[in-house]
Amino acid sequence: MAPPVWLDAVASGANVPAMSPEEPTSTTDTPSAPAPCGPQIISGYLKHLGSGPGVYRMLDGTGTVIYVGKARNLKARVGNYVRLGGHTNRIARMISATASMEFVTVRTEAEALLLEANLIKRFRPRFNVLLRDDKSFPYILIARDQAAPQIMKHRGARNRKGDYFGPFASAGAVGRTINMLQRAFLLRSCSDSVYESRTRPCLLHQIKRCSAPCTGEIGLDEYSQLVDEAVRFLSGESQSVRQLYQRLMEDAAGEMEYERAAKYRNRLWALAHVTADQAINPDGIEEADIFAAHQEGGQTCVQVFFFRTGQNWGNRAYYPKADRSLPVEDILDSFVAQFYDDKPVPRLILLSHEIANRELLAEALCIKANRKVEIRVPQRGTKSGLVDHAVANAREALGRKLAETASQRHLLEALAERFNLADVPRRIEVYDNSHIMGTNAVGGMIVAGPEGFVKAAYRKFNIKSQAITPGDDFAMMREVLTRRFKRLVETGADAAEGEDAAGAATAPDAPIPEDERPDVFPDKPDLVLVDGGLGQLNVACEVFADLGVRDVALIGVAKGPDRDAGREHFHRPGEAKSIMLEPRDPVLYFVQRLRDEAHRFAIGTHRAKRSKAISANPLDDIAGIGQTRRRALMNHFGSAKAVSRAGIEDLKAVNGISAEMAQKIYDFFHDRRG
């Protein structure tokens, strides 16, 4: 059964019209009268609501979605928000902040559950449980768009012909598995362009990681057998593949062909390493995901284990954003629904806690996967042991995170004390530039907060100004800081961030307790570190003065004599003399770590830009030259430089190049020379 049309429409960003409430009667024309909000505005919708299933959205005065919920009976659910009393502090704050509502009616409650998860991930309302990390999982792909299939890591849409195996918990797990599979099955991992241009075997063939079909060291029929064996192994037939190699090894040894026997022996070793690397491979678990949650200190960790083809393909820890008052069962309930919004659903899902919507969620996932999906909370047996193991991992992971968070918080407090900052910084931004003699210049910004590095907030800046003298670090820093803080000032991040932190539309006489405030990471930094001395700091001060930024602390971090780590000088605005921290001060190590991360990010960005520029093919800039024609030209002439020197008649001799296209290619290169 295909998902309903409305689900695709909402996912693509289509607006669903709001249902207008009953207009409240007014006895005054005073324009300054406060707009209705909370129960008063919600009650106006009840007369227009039906009793069927649907999804509702609550919006604050600025039009921001603050909560998304589903209901079996929309009128009854929304009516609960109108009654006074009986609400938790979180629900009471949510109701008081509501200035309007929007509704979508659906056919079944299962469809409402799917749509709710979709909208939560789209709008990220602050009163919902939010899945923080929703990156796609990596897969192993055996691509079949060439005569000799390629084994590779794949992430994203499955729009390439081939066999997909996964998901794996991390790219590292995929890399290790591919490495072992290359040893066992000798499949090529090179790109198609490299495969087509090889004239002799590469190093991987020399170290027995590839059978080199590119140069005919192995026939395509024999290579296809290796591919089929790899597919069987990844599909769960690992035992039959091992038995095949065991038999072939014994036959070769019996015929005294010891070199061939050693080849099969090495493959058996590689296969054993693959299965051993999967940690635990329980019997009876062919395809399942395990969700185990643990709650402590107002935070929740959800460990997800992936089992495919009877093998454990890794695990990943998540820390969903949720109100501290929510029980672990409610968080797990919302988490699982959001998790499968854009991911394939296995046949079996095991949970550590009973959730209220278990049967409904199973029905919704059956609709999504178009097959039976079972959700269990095992109490005994092998499956219960697996869940207990996952819970132990969740408990340990959360303990480590809480310890790291506490340590990070102490470091931030000490940092504020050492540099006499007005407040403990919640967001720190560090800036660095990277280039080689002014070429491929980039600026990098890394972000850190109470929970460590916030890599989703990292930004790179390609230096665009043509007026900058190559190698002028001061001018590059000026451009980077100007672009960053000009946008921050123009978007009014100050007001938005302050509103989120305090709770929008919350009455001033009812402050939110500190431990119940939404966990909102600010968009604006409290502290900016620039990698450089007094000159870089003065540039930053000038940019802040020009843009009117006055409430962000600035520190310049200069390398010490002989560029020795541990002897850094710290410059602050308005102070001619720099300061140094004690060599063993934890704050010094903390700042060094921030600076080194900014340096790593800037250099990595520069190298990626430089590599892209080096590998750029001028043929890509010619209109009408696609992958097929470019490959034909490269195969015929050997290089783009040789193409640029070719005459029109030589170009016309290439398969797929017409007289008109040959003239276009010739004119492209000769016009550029002129």
Q: How many CB atoms lie within 10 A of CB 64?
A: 18
Look at residue 3 and tell me whether its pLDDT is greater than 70: no
Could you list the residue range(s) of the whole structural domain that residue 439 is in?
419-505+517-613
Please state, rounded to an integer, the average pLDDT across all residues of the chain: 80
Q: Please write the tens of the pLDDT for every residue from 631-659.
A: 888 888 877 778 888 888 888 888 888 88
Q: What percent of the chain clears pLDDT 90, i.e. is strictly above it? A: 22
Q: What integer pLDDT is reported at residue 273 of this predicted model?
A: 61
Residue 131 lies in a domain: no
Q: Please write the tens of the pLDDT for every residue from 554-572.
A: 999 888 665 556 678 899 8
The answer to whether the beta carbons of residues 325 and 90 sit under 8 Å apart is yes
With CA atoms as reference, report the closest residue to 373 among 340, 332, 334.
340
Q: What integer pLDDT is reported at residue 283 of this predicted model?
A: 59
Look at residue 100 and tell me whether its pLDDT is greater than 50: yes
b/e sequence 159-175, b meaning 16+ C-beta within 10 Å: eeebbebbbbbeeebbe
Domain shared by 622 and 572, yes or no: no
b/e sequence 380-391, b meaning 16+ C-beta within 10 Å: eeebeebbebbb
Which of 174-178, 317-321, 668-672 is predicted least confidently? 668-672
Where residue 502 falls among pLDDT bands split at 50, 70, 90?
A: very low
Where residue 498 falls among pLDDT bands split at 50, 70, 90?
A: very low
With CA atoms as reference, report the closest residue to 337 among 291, 398, 387, 389.
291
Residue 188 lies in a domain: yes
| Whole-angstrom distance, CA of residue 387 vs CA of residue 381 | 10
Q: Which residue has the higher pLDDT, 340 or 6?
A: 340
Domain shared by 119 and 254, yes or no: no
Bridge partners (DSSP) of residue 188 are: 150
Q: What integer pLDDT is reported at residue 482 of this predicted model?
A: 92
Bridge partners (DSSP) of residue 59 are: 65, 100
* Domain CATH for 501: 3.30.420.340
Domain shared by 592 and 454, yes or no: yes
With CA atoms as reference, report the closest residue to 408 among 428, 437, 387, 433.
428
In the chain, how many domains are there? 5
Q: What integer pLDDT is reported at residue 535 of this predicted model?
A: 86
Domain shared by 110 and 147, yes or no: no
Domain shared by 155 and 9, yes or no: no
Q: What is the mean pLDDT of residues 332-343?
A: 88
Residue 304 lies in a domain: no
Where residue 233 falls among pLDDT bands split at 50, 70, 90?
A: confident
Q: What integer pLDDT is reported at residue 279 of this predicted model?
A: 44
Please give the structure tokens belonging to residue 46.
């009840």
Q: What integer pLDDT is reported at residue 284 of this predicted model?
A: 65
Domain shared by 521 and 585, yes or no: yes
**DSSP code at position 19:** P
Q: Please write the tens of the pLDDT for every residue from 50-61.
A: 889 999 999 988
Look at residue 403 and tell me whether its pLDDT is greater than 50: yes
Residue 445 lies in a domain: yes
| Final residue of a structural domain among 277, 306, 341 | 277
| Final residue of a structural domain among 73, 96, 123 | 123
Domain shared by 247 and 337, yes or no: no
Where residue 500 falls among pLDDT bands split at 50, 70, 90?
A: very low
Domain shared by 328 and 457, yes or no: no
Domain shared by 457 and 594, yes or no: yes
Q: What integer pLDDT is reported at residue 458 of this predicted model?
A: 92
Q: What integer pLDDT is reported at residue 514 of this predicted model?
A: 41
* Domain CATH for 64: 3.40.1440.10
Which of 171-175, 393-397, 405-409, 428-432 is predicted least confidently? 171-175
Q: How many CB atoms lie within 10 A of CB 52?
A: 16
Q: What is the mean pLDDT of residues 116-137?
A: 82
Q: Please write the tens of the pLDDT for every residue from 605-626.
A: 878 777 766 656 677 778 778 8
With CA atoms as reference, report the closest residue to 292 among 328, 324, 321.
328
Domain shared by 175 and 267, yes or no: yes
Q: What is the mean pLDDT of residues 533-561?
A: 88
* Domain CATH for 646: 1.10.150.20
Domain shared by 474 and 539, yes or no: yes
Domain shared by 390 and 433, yes or no: no
